[in-house]
Structures are given as structure tokens and as C-alpha cells.
Amino acid sequence: MNPVTILAVILVLAGFIFLMLSLRPVRQAMDLVPAAFQLQWRILGLLILFFCLGYLFFDLILLTDITFPLELVTGLVFAGGAIFVFIVINICHNSLDWFRQTDRKLRILNDTLEKQVERRTRALERSSQFLKTVLDSLQDSIAIINVDDHTIDNVNASFLEEFGLSEKEVVGRPCYEVTHQRRTPCAPPDDECPMSHTLESGEPAMCEHRHRSEADGHHYVEIHTVPVKNSDGRVRQVVHISRNITKRKQDELRIRHMAYYDSLTGLPNRTYYRKLLARSLDHARRHDRIMATMIIDLDSFKRINDTLGHAVGDSLLKSVAKRLRFALRSSDCVARFRSDLGNTISRLGGDEFIILLNEMTRVQDAAMVADRLLSELAAPFFLEGHEVVVTASIGIAVFPADGDDADTLFKNADLAMYHAKSLGKNKYQYYTESMNVSARERLTVENDLRRALARNELVLYYQPQVSMKTLEIRGLEALVRWQHPRRGLVPPLEFIPVAEQSELIHLVGEWVLHTACRQLRKIHAAGHRQVRMAVNLSNHQFTREDLVEKISSVLAATGLEGRFLELELTESAVMQNPQQAVCVLQQLRELGIHIAVDDFGTGYSSFEWLKILPLDSLKVDRNFISGITERREDVKILEAILAMAESLGLAVIAEGVETEDQLALLRTLYCSGGQGFLFSRPLPAAGIMDLLRTHGGSLLSATNGQ
């Protein structure tokens, strides 16, 4: 081997060394090269190596006899190429270090970003889940609506439950299709939609809607719409919040019904009546119509209620309401009915009803309705095993003749109703101006009577009650009079009815009882111990719950024994509630008080109850006494009363004895006692003391001298 070849081999070996030295940085940089490129580099390196080795083999072995030093050139080229590769790779190695550091930083940054993204993703998922949990827990229905096409982007569980749909059936569908089952959006003013207001103003809005769902049909909702805006202020979504207010609406209707309707009969009450009347008056004024107000009061309802119990009384009121409704059927020929304004019946309270007759053609139309009402009520009511017959009194006031405002019409109809009662009940009466005059007079009497109690203007007169056998004064009846400062002595018939209507009768009755008992104590102190005092009790007084307690306190305050007090009751007071009367009278009897039925024969007493009631005497009304000397029929009636009283062990006192013939006949019939002008007129306290002192308690000489 010649030196040239050796040198060429050395150059090749040096080239290999440089190539091997170049592989180290290449291997270090391989981790920055993708796997596909790494394979290509390896294949290329092997091809170059194979080429070089093959070339050297060809040059050194096969061309050994060539004189030109080709192998030296080849070795130089190979060594030079290897050195060039070594230099290039080492130069690039510095860049690769920078890339490697940058890659390391990028990897660290990427890992950090991935962790942040993962952390924020988890936080967003938790926030989204929390928000969904919160929204689903709300009872309000919430929907997110896209403003471009009104489609629903998202909903909560309450929304799905409200409409009975699944999320797939809701999301992506137009809101008006889901909530209203319609094909077009809601458009004001025909359809009030808060979303329209929100889109126009960009502000939240609210309204009430009636929705229809597959689950429960129609229901009411309160809708709030809140805009969701872009950065440029344009509304991109609307948050639709709806609250089911069906129960609230039902509660409002129930409260309104409680406020405006009677709970017992279901009729409009006094409050709603005033609204209806105001509307009717306005309608009548605008259309130049006449209308009428009719007040209906049931006659003797209190007696039925007290006798048969409140349950029967309530049943009666409900039955009366049904009959009145039937009498005002929509086919009524006396008025032209409208869909919003027709004949209306209301209950004012107690046993009073009121009817509004709208758009009458004649004043007489009200009378036709009143006749029909009375006819409807005339038929018996069968209530809880009882047959009940009830009548009514009706007062009628017509607009505009009898008043042009609600208060005047009501007042005048009320006056007409009371006038109908005074005429015997079961009647109707139109209002007249004379009724108003009478009402003003009653009001004047009532006011004066209140002042009279404070000014001590009331006085008591006393009329003797005598024994028919001995004509001895056995008792005195206390009769109240009013010493009016302008009108003089006012008889009881002029102010007692007013006192009963105004509840002043209780104050008057207490004053009479106190005064009469004190006067009787003076009479007893004067030596007339046989005299008993009779005091009248009105129906109102007898129904007071504290009656026995009041009388007992008066006896204790005056020091009078109960056996010297006699209470006179009317038949109507006793028979109004016989069961209660038995209880009260028994308590009075336990105090030693005597009980008498006044004006006997004018009422409708039940002989069965007369046997049970704890009574002591009957006072026969003066109408049966005045004609006993001329009419045989009156004598027969009196004989029947005396026979019945004897069988019941009751004394009989004849009222209104004015002639000797009457006295003689009564004594012949063995009547127990008498009272009348024949014996003495009612006298004041001083006069009765003089009478007792003069005649010594007997009127025998006085009657013989007349």
C-alpha cells in the first residue's frame, strides 16, 4: 500500500471520526424532530454511509493500478465533507440548545396553560352545575329566549314541569308555540307580551298572562322579562321568568267573593249591592231610564229562628234566596235584560234582601215583580222536618222620582218596607213623601226621648186593679207618660213604638221598673201591704239574655220582695219562643214574681203552651169587655176564657171596665178582678197615695157613689 492510499485511508478514518462526533449532537436533537422525520434522517445517513463505503471499496480495491491519486481526492472529499458536516452540526447545535430551552419553556407553559384550562373548565362545570341546580330548585319557570327567532335556548325544571314537556320538546322551539300553542308571535296590543316591551325599550318588563299546558289546562302566570345585552348594548337574549299565580288568583277570587257575597246564600252582600246600585244609577242616568230598589224583609223571621233554631233559620234564608232568584229569572217580562246589567238580588244581612230592577219601562213593573215575589214566598217551606210558612214586607223606591242617589233610594225603600209592615205585613208599598215626613217625626221623637231620660221628663201614672168580689185594691199597673217641655203630657202610644224601634225601650223599661218598685215601697210604708205592682214588659225586653239578672238587681236595690211584683207580657212575646219563655218565666217565678198575660185574646196563643207556661193570671183585652152588655158573642167568648182559666188555675182580670152593668155582669160570671175608668183613671204618684188614703184600699164606696 503506497503512501497516497494510506493518506486516503487516514482521511477517510478522520472523516468517520468527524461523522461519529457529529452523531452525538444529532442524537441529542432527535427529541426535537418528529418521529417521521427521524426515520427519514436515519435512512438518509445509512445511504450516505453505504455510498461512501462502496465508493472507497471501488476506489481502493478495484482501481488500485490507476496512477492518478483518485483515492486521495476521495479521502479528501470524504474528510472535507465530514468536517463540513461536523462544523455545520456543531454550529446548529447551539441553535438546537436554544430551541431545546425554548421547547422546555413552551412545554412548561403549555402544561401550565393546560392545568389552568382544566381548572377553569372544572370551575365552569361546577358553576354551570350550581347554576342549573339553583335554577331547577326555583319554583319560578325560567326560559332563555333567542331574540332573533324567539326560539328557546335553555329552560329550568320548573318550566318543563309547568308545561308537562321534556327538554328536547322545548329547546329550539319558538316560545309562543310552547306557551300559547300558536303559530305566530304575540303582538301588542291584542296580545300583551312583556318580551315585546323589553325588545323595544331594552328594559325589564312585567305582565300577567293566561297560559295553557298539557298538564293542567289553563293557568295564570306573572311574567318578568330581563334583557341580556351584547357589549354594543344590543339585546341578544331575553330571560323569561314566569311565576304560576293561579292559586293567588283563586285566593283573590275567594277573598273577593267573601268581601262581596253573602256566605250563607251566595248572594251579593251590602257592600257589593252599593257598587251594583251605583252602576245601575249611572246607567239609568246616561240612558234616561227608570229603575227601582226593592227591600224585602221577612215577617216574623226572628220568631221562627228562635223557636226552631238557627239551623232552620239559615235553611229558611237559603231557601228564600233560591225562590227570589227563581222569581227574577232571565225571561222576566218586566225588564229588558243586558249581559252586564240585569235584575239583581242581594242580601243585606239578617232577614233583609234587596232587589235592583234595571231598565223598567213603567213604574208599575215593580209592583208586578213584588206580586210575584210574595206569591213565590207564600208556599210553605219544608225544612229539616218542619213546615214553615213565612211572609214578607216589601218597600219600593223608584229612580228618579224617589231619589237620585244610592243613599236616598235605599232610605226611602226602607221607609216603604216599614210602612208595609205597619199595614199588616205580607204587602208591598211604594215610597211616598208622607213616609219621609213620618220618619222625620219619629227621628225627632227619638232624639227628644233620649234627652227626656237624661232630664227626668218621664213620669209614672198608676191605675188600680180591684177584686171583683170585694172591690178592694189588690194591685196597681204602672203606666209611663212623658211630660214633654213643649208638647205637654205625651201618651205612651206616641213614643213607646219609637222607643222599641230605636232600642231605647230597654232604658225606658229599666227606669219604669226602678221607679214603680220604689213607689210601691212607699205605699207599703203607708200601710197598704196588700197592694201588688204590675209592670209591662215589651217584647224587646223579654228577649234580653240578662232580663232575670236585671230584675233581680232592681228588687235588691229597692228592697222589694218579688211576690209584690207582677210582670205583664203580651201573647206575642210569650209565643214568639215558647220554649225559651218557659225557661225565663220559671226563673222569674223562683224570685216570687207573678206573671200575667196582657191583652189576652188578641194574639194567637196555643192552649197547649198555656198549660206549660208558669202563669198566674190573664188580662182580657178591653175589646171583649166593652161589648159584653150588648153582644152575646162577647159574653160567650168571655165565658170560654173564664172556663179555660179556671181549668188552668189562672186568675182573670177584665180590662176597660167602665160601666156598672159591665161590673155586674163580670161579678155574675165570677171574674177574678177588674181594671178601668169605673174604678179610677190612671193617677200620678201623689194621686194614687191620696186614693189609697181616702178609700182605705177599697173602691166599694167610690163605685157606689158614681
Among all chains, which residue has been given the C-alpha cell 472529499? Answer: 77
- Give me the DSSP letters along 488-527: EEE-GGGTHHHHHHTTTHHHHHHHHHHHHHHHHHHHHHTT
pLDDT band at 662 (very low <50, low <70, confident <90, very high): very high
pLDDT band at 706 (very low <50, low <70, confident <90, very high): very low
Residue 395 in any domain: the answer is yes
* Rounded alpha-carbon distances, angstroms, from residue 625 to 632, 661, 662, 665: 11, 11, 7, 10
Looking at the structure, tell me whether residues 190 and 295 fall in a common domain: no
Whole-angstrom distance, CA of residue 413 vs CA of residue 164: 56
Looking at the structure, tell me whether residues 292 and 381 fall in a common domain: yes
pLDDT at 679 over 60: yes
Residue 441 in any domain: the answer is no
Q: What is the number of domains present in the chain?
A: 4
Looking at the structure, tell me whether residues 359 and 402 fall in a common domain: yes
121-148 pLDDT per residue, tens: 898 888 888 888 888 888 788 889 998 8
- Residues 444-473, mean pLDDT to the nearest whole number: 91
Looking at the structure, tell me whether residues 187 and 243 fall in a common domain: yes
Q: What share of the chain in percent tops pLDDT 90? A: 29
Cell of 1: 500500500
Report the CATH number at residue 177: 3.30.450.20
Chain center to CA of 168:
43
- Residues 538-550, mean pLDDT to the nearest whole number: 88
Residue 161 in any domain: the answer is yes
User: Would you state the pLDDT for residue 396?
Assistant: 94
Residue 691 in any domain: the answer is no
pLDDT at 12 over 70: no
Amino acid at 576: Q
Among all chains, which residue has been given the C-alpha cell 168571655? Answer: 638
Q: Rg of the chain over CA atoms, in angstroms? A: 58
Looking at the structure, tell me whether residues 329 and 420 fall in a common domain: yes
- Residues 148-172, mean pLDDT to the nearest whole number: 87
Looking at the structure, tell me whether residues 34 and 146 fall in a common domain: no
Residue 538 in any domain: the answer is no
Where in the sequence is the domain holding 620, given as residue range(s)?
Answer: 616-675
> Of 402, 431, 460, which one is at a domain's C-terminal end?
431
Helix (H, G, I), strand (E, B) or coil at 274: helix
Looking at the structure, tell me whether residues 225 and 300 fall in a common domain: no
pLDDT at 78 over 70: no
Residue 121 in any domain: the answer is no
Q: What share of the chain in percent tops pLDDT 70? A: 81
- Residues 31-43, mean pLDDT to the nearest whole number: 56
pLDDT band at 340 (very low <50, low <70, confident <90, very high): very low
- Residues 635-658, mean pLDDT to the nearest whole number: 92
Is-contact 221 141, C-beta < 8 A? yes
Looking at the structure, tell me whether residues 176 and 242 fall in a common domain: yes
Looking at the structure, tell me whether residues 218 and 287 fall in a common domain: no
274-326 pLDDT per residue, tens: 888 888 888 888 888 888 999 999 988 887 887 788 888 899 999 998 888 88
Cell of 106: 413552551
pLDDT at 217 over 90: no
> Of 412, 431, 450, which one is at a domain's C-terminal end?
431
Looking at the structure, tell me whether residues 340 and 308 fall in a common domain: yes
Report the CATH number at residue 411: 3.30.70.270
10 Å Cβ neighbour count for 181? 12
Looking at the structure, tell me whether residues 234 and 331 fall in a common domain: no
For the whole model, what pTM was predicted? Answer: 0.54
Q: Which long-range contacts (CB under 8 A, 24 or more apart) does 270-279 make?
A: 270/346, 270/348, 270/349, 272/346, 273/344, 273/346, 273/348, 273/354, 273/356, 274/406, 276/344, 276/346, 276/356, 277/356, 277/406, 277/409, 277/410, 278/406, 279/341
Cell of 553: 238587681
pLDDT at 485 over 50: yes
Cell of 234: 344590543
> Of 386, 409, 431, which one is at a domain's C-terminal end?
431
10 Å Cβ neighbour count for 227? 20
Residue 24 in any domain: the answer is yes
Beta bridge partners of 296: 353, 394
Whole-angstrom distance, CA of residue 291 vs CA of residue 366: 9
Looking at the structure, tell me whether residues 155 and 215 fall in a common domain: yes
Residue 73 in any domain: the answer is yes
pLDDT at 232 over 90: no
Whole-angstrom distance, CA of residue 61 vs CA of residue 304: 150
